[in-house]
Structure 1
């Protein structure tokens, strides 16, 4: 191939859209590393591909399992936050109205500092709480979330209110219909108290947002929550809601969950409908819950999962009994423990050290731990980021001429990198992704591993206003794979900040990641239970 000049491609591709970025802006994008993914992709693309290597988009990324075996044993009966509150509601010890009023009071008292909420729907929430109480009084029980306050990331549509996606461009866009996930939460009786903040168009691993400000970490307010489900994590971490919906395109549920000492569950691609959710990258986006406990994540996912005629990406895969999985005491499976993904160090030393007791507890529960090098992860990371950029360019390209000057500086710099690709890049990226997927799966299968354990992030939470592209290096491969992944607190690093362990299984095996995460959770000091 000829020499590769990403800035020339940026100029060429944007010129075709009628956009002329400033020269100093282009040089800043180069200097700050926003063209790094395109450069790394170009190196991969210069390798050999066989003619028969099909693009990933023509294959079944997440084949449905023949059956899912049950996990042995039943652990403690302590009730996590959601089930404990559900039990109190049904015993008449509290009401939905009281719980929602408490949530709104906490938002009023704490959100001026944290900046978690984009929009609070107080009147709607109180009216819904009255309905929930009346239904329970009549014997209508919609499940564990009935009457409990929850929140949504502000790229999820709620009929009659705006969906900003963290931008000012969409600030006046009023949703005409609830997203499917909102319909399902309402059907489960959950009370939506508001919509949470995010970086502009969800394209950052931090809470950076020039329009609405950053979101402070409730565990350490001088530090960032991470992104892009920033406000969702802060709202849960501060006790404003029992659960918040986040989206995850490269780690945006798992990163803030880790930084805030919470549980973040990214399900299998196709498990949860994305209808009515403003996209970042169509083939990589996932929706899932951020909660305080693993069992809370399990019951929340059960409420929102399932096929949807509005979203052809969804699949009719049976959902395992996740609450039973959360009570599993034994885990008789082989667990690959990631030693290296090739290239740079896996994680900061304090992160690696903090994970050791969590790995030990998996072994004590019957897991066989197998240290493993997985160099395919580095390739999957580059390809996941490249495919995201190609899809972001496809989404924003037709809008760029009208919106360019209204984008924030940070998003605009990142967007420049999305236009640094030649016209053949999309299909080549998909072909490379298929090959990397096969090699990664074959490596795990060769060693008989059903689970993978690794740090969620290479580092603990950065200080407010700081951002590192490394934050998603260990999470983004699993968006491309579409496999389920959970982050659960694994301890506190020497710097006093939370560390999360990420547990990954094959398609549709959310039960395995939930079981393993619950075993880790039980060993943590101050574990939340009733």
Structure 2
């Protein structure tokens, strides 16, 4: 079958596919799919897949894309130099305390878990009506957990740095006894009697879960737009978006409603809102953290990770979340590195690739975003890193591929609801998921073939460098309701499965945060976080409260 070459051809294909799937959709709705630009990715996908050989082995379940031997080893350095605190730290605006700072205060008995939890709940009561960050607040349960944490710490039972710390979780993670909506009307009443694996690990570490946070519908947007529950406003500027889809998690941490939060990331949904809200957001290697108990968007692209106020905080949460889970076949039995210890090492001798050309022909970002990114790179160079400019034109194809794979995997999950409850989707989600029917019968296999080829090409970058850096986003947070190009630099690393982190490096002229992204070898979160800590230590981020 010859691939359609224009929008009219794709619309014809959609009509055929929808009819075969037993889904009744009016022609006016399909025309709206085209008018809103949702067919641009299927068109781009057809163009790039036609150029790919037909005999490539598909990727399928080699989703992490690497062996478990050498790839699991951290990048070497020429020495272990301590990361000094930033010389400019004293000049920074005061902000909310980090997880590490609060954990130390708890153990010195300067504050109790109940006091921290009461402060978080009071902040939620004050600010959530403005920001719309929480889907559900668990006040009674949180206070009971805090009292238990205080009793345990008082008796000398210390579960680690999260013990007694108020944490929020994205509302696509199951929390026993609560509804898990995934930002949808369809799942508004769906309750579980079990916790997601990540929630289990938080509880075992003594964390106090204060609530479940807002997200775009079924996590299928790089912005916070949600037709059912409304958008989440950016704490730094209420007219601007937090980014998506882990919108509420970012706003909650940035605005003092939680000390840290969990997000999911299929095309950038941890890193985008973390960057737009001045946070650290870590997407670990695919297969590193269990997604058992999480509502999927795309099984082969979904990741789970922390959103925090510091790199050290992200390392603490990673250490607790990481590890295999027999209930999630995507996880692998790869040794979990001691990333907290790695932060005490320096970056002398590391080679960091500086993206020069991403293959799109577009500028990499606004002047403000690029200036902040380059300031972060200069800080790494001063700390002993060697910067290596390089071209990686594969990124532009990986963007298209990631979006095409999300569409084809998401529609498989949503098919029963599309047949029975199509009108219960918000308009943005409905139009976007309907565009999935523009793909042909062989396109999923072709996408996996292309993924295999692009992954092998991109892996060659590690012959030259230990890490790759890009801006996290091409700009600061856009205005509410505008997904724009939010996932421009984040989505490729979901398709690749590499670990990636965003760290704040400055503000725009309108006081909107800007981030620097670092991506590394699979399973080498230690080096990714070590370099992020060096950027953070340079004192480029002014800190402060939004």
Q: TM-score interval w.r.t. the shorter chain?
A: over 0.9
Determine the structure 2 residue equivalent to 1:395. 413
| Pair 1:109 & 2:126 matched | yes
Counterpart secondary structure, 1:57: coil
- Cα distance, 1:527 vs structure 2: 4.9
Counterpart secondary structure, 1:472: coil
Counterpart secondary structure, 2:81: coil
Give a deviation string over 1:402-458, Cα, whole Å, max 9, x none. Answer: 12011001101111211110111111100011001111112x134x21100101111
| Pair 1:86 & 2:103 matched | yes
Q: Equivalences for 1:301-340 in 2 at 5 Å?
A: 301-340=318-357
| Maintained 8 Å contact 1:232/1:290 | yes
| Pair 1:68 & 2:86 matched | no
**d(CA) in 1 for partners of 2:20, 2:101:** 57
Determine the structure 1 residue equivalent to 2:113. 96
| Pair 1:57 & 2:73 matched | no
Q: Equivalences for 1:23-62 in 2 at 5 Å?
A: 23-49=27-53, 51=55, 53-59=56-62, 61-62=65-66
Q: Equivalences for 1:434-513 in 2 at 5 Å?
A: 434-442=452-460, 444-446=461-463, 448-468=464-484, 470-513=485-528
- Cα distance, 1:464 vs structure 2: 1.6
The answer for unaligned runs of 5 or more in structure 2 is: 90-96
Count of aligned residue pairs for this structure pair: 525
Determine the structure 1 residue equivalent to 2:93. none
Determine the structure 1 residue equivalent to 2:184. 167
**d(CA) in 2 for partners of 1:75, 1:473:** 31
- Cα distance, 1:50 vs structure 2: 5.1
Give a deviation string over 1:229-267, Cα, whole Å, max 9, x none. Answer: 000000000011111000000000000001111110000
Counterpart secondary structure, 2:262: strand
* TM-score after normalising by structure 1: 0.96
- Cα distance, 1:495 vs structure 2: 3.5
**d(CA) in 1 for partners of 2:238, 2:145:** 32
1:234 to 251, 255, 261: 251
Determine the structure 1 residue equivalent to 2:390. 372
Q: CA RMSD in A?
A: 1.7
* TM-score after normalising by structure 2: 0.93
- Cα distance, 1:77 vs structure 2: 7.1
- Cα distance, 1:58 vs structure 2: 4.7
The answer for unaligned runs of 5 or more in structure 1 is: none
**d(CA) in 2 for partners of 1:75, 1:186:** 31
Structure 1 residues 211 and 58 mapped into 2: Cα distance closer, same or farther (>3 Å)?
closer
| Maintained 8 Å contact 1:268/1:507 | yes
Counterpart secondary structure, 2:60: helix
- Cα distance, 1:39 vs structure 2: 0.6
1:433 to 451, 454, 478: 451
Determine the structure 1 residue equivalent to 2:20. 16
- Cα distance, 1:65 vs structure 2: 3.4
**d(CA) in 2 for partners of 1:398, 1:450:** 44
Give a deviation string over 1:241-296, Cα, whole Å, max 9, x none. Answer: 11100000000000000111111000000110000000000000000000011110
**d(CA) in 2 for partners of 1:346, 1:10:** 34
Which shifted more, 319-328 or 62-71?
A: 62-71
- Cα distance, 1:20 vs structure 2: 2.1
Give a deviation string over 1:129-180, Cα, whole Å, max 9, x none. Answer: 1111111111110000000000000000001110000001100000121000
2:297 to 263, 280, 300: 280
| Maintained 8 Å contact 1:253/1:288 | yes
- Cα distance, 1:81 vs structure 2: 1.3
| Maintained 8 Å contact 1:62/1:269 | no
Determine the structure 2 residue equivalent to 1:251. 268
